[in-house]
Amino acid sequence: MHKFNPEHAHNLTSPQRLEHEKPDVIIKAAGAAESMVVADVGCGTGFYSFPLAQVVGSDGLVYAVDLSKDMISLLAKEMEQRSVRNIRPVLSHEASIPLADKIADMVVNVNMFHEAEDRDAFIMELKRLMKDDGRLLLIDHKKEPSPTGPPLEERVAYEDAVALLKKYFDIVVKGPSGDRQYGILAMK
């Protein structure tokens, strides 16, 4: 199972990534708004966490969740440099996130769904974090060749991701994403 190597963390915020993936546009299109509580699960160094923090504002909160101590450390350093106060870094396990039930208006999961060892358990954990009227934005790499991303054989096809989400959510629709990815919005 492919897991992102923290030694490549600099790629997560590269100008090349910004060319094909615009997190500020994507999160607004997905419905992120002022005063929301958002869980950015698989936050890495904060490529989505920082734009989310800006959108939710001082009355909102972003839980930046990652499995890697290295990623959480890099995120915390960047938060300090930017003087960001509405992000809470959370070191986690894949299907056991140390946050309360129904804590988030929105859960964001970008470019790491393919890494989940037990995708059913992972989706159920993301759903557990969502308020009853919350939404999940899942974005992952298309299952087609691209200059970046995980090995092609480890990517999850859009149709397979939709089928899995439909097992757990009442509403599953196409969502916003970068041009090398697919996006799915799911709601209870």
Q: Where are the domains of the chain?
A: 19-187
Q: Look at the pTM and tell me if it is higher than 0.85.
A: yes
Class of domain 19-187: alpha beta
Task: Please tell me what DSSP assigns to residue 139.
Answer: E
CA-CA distance, 126 to 176, in Å (whole number)?
Answer: 18
| pLDDT tens digit at each of 188 positions of the chain | 555 545 554 555 555 656 778 999 999 999 999 999 999 999 999 999 999 999 999 999 999 999 999 999 999 999 999 999 999 999 998 789 999 999 999 999 999 999 999 999 999 999 999 999 999 999 999 999 988 888 999 999 999 999 999 999 999 999 999 989 999 999 99
Q: Specify whether the CB–CB gap between 71 and 47 falls below 8 A.
A: no
**Contact call for residues 35 and 69 (beta carbons, < 8 A):** no
Kindly compute the dihedral angle of the four CA atoms of residues 160, 165, 171, 177, in this order, to the nearest 10 degrees: -70
